[in-house]
């Protein structure tokens, strides 16, 4: 089990982006040098965290889950951001083809058993991809609501450190950062989507929706499962 320390976690300030940058720099070049990766969906908000990381270390491994069910707009957004930010080590992670052939031969498992579909296409492939790392970075925020409302900046999940450097950032701060740095915006952000994952399980926002309400609408879930481990202990932000 990894030791959990709080000394490397900057105190949150009035500028969450600056706090995030300090946390990332300390982890990438210090505590977890050579043993940390960023996971990115290249979704609606992904440009902010990718930009922060690229400024610190553009060769940091970036793990991208291509589930085979993504929007074409997401794949194009990925390619734009990789070129713009100069990311040097984007690793495309795919599901096990034999497992998919056995469990989802027609590609419609998302309709009958979305939980199993997420496990095959996301949880299991990411678990394999993270096996060589002691820590990973992701872009979850408290403003997403649901299970993320009390998110810590740093957690330990089943023996691996998990950093949430944007945990304290608001929707307005994310948007302002994108504007300030003139970052490319996901095409679907202008088409009514607040959050996008796989095409069958992502919908446009409705009036009054929280960020992730369009994901798995009507299914009583807001997470695919990669952020819902069986054993978790959070450290203070």
Tokens 């690793």 -> residue: 91
Q: Between the CA of residue 194 and those of 23, 51, 52, 214, what are the distances in Å?
A: 26, 20, 21, 8
Tokens of 228: 């819902």
The dihedral built from the CA positions of residue 22, 25, 28 and 32, taken in this order, carries a sign that is negative
Widest Cα–Cα separation across the chain = 51
Q: Do you know the residue count of the chain? A: 237
C-alpha–C-alpha distance, residues 221 and 227, integer Å: 12
Three-class secondary structure of residue 43 per DSSP:
coil
Catalytic residue among 118, 198, 201, 224: 224
Q: Find, among 160, 142, 144, the residue nearest to 37 by Cα.
A: 160
The two beta strands, 154-157 and 160-163, are antiparallel
Tokens 């450190």 -> residue: 161
Burial 49-63 (b: 16+ CB within 10 A, else e): bbbbbbeebeebbbb
Q: Catalytic: 224?
A: yes
Known catalytic residues are: 224
């Amino acid at each position: 089990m990894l030791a959990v320390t709080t000394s490397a976690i900057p105190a949150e300030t009035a500028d969450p982006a600056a706090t995030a940058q300090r946390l990332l720099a300390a982890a990438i070049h210090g505590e977890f040098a050579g043993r940390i990766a960023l996971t990115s969906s290249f979704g609606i908000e992904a440009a902010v965290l990718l930009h922060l990381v690229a400024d610190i270390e553009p060769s940091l491994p970036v793990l991208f889950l291509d589930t085979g069910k993504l929007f074409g707009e997401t794949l194009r957004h990925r390619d734009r951001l990789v070129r713009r930010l100069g990311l040097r080590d984007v690793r495309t992670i795919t599901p096990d083809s034999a497992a998919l052939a056995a469990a989802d031969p027609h590609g419609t498992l998302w309709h009958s058993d979305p939980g199993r579909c997420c496990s095959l296409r996301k949880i299991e492939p990411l678990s394999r991809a993270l096996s060589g790392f002691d820590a990973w970075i992701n872009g979850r925020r408290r403003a997403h609501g649901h299970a993320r409302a009390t998110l810590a900046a740093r957690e330990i999940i089943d023996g691996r450190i998990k950093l949430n450097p944007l945990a304290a950032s608001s929707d307005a701060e994310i948007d302002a950062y994108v504007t300030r740095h003139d970052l490319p915006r996901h095409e679907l952000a202008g088409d009514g989507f607040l959050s996008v994952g796989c095409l069958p399980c992502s919908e446009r926002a409705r009036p009054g929706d929280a960020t992730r309400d369009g994901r798995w609408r009507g299914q009583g879930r807001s997470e695919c499962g990669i952020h819902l481990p069986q054993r978790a202990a959070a450290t203070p932000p």
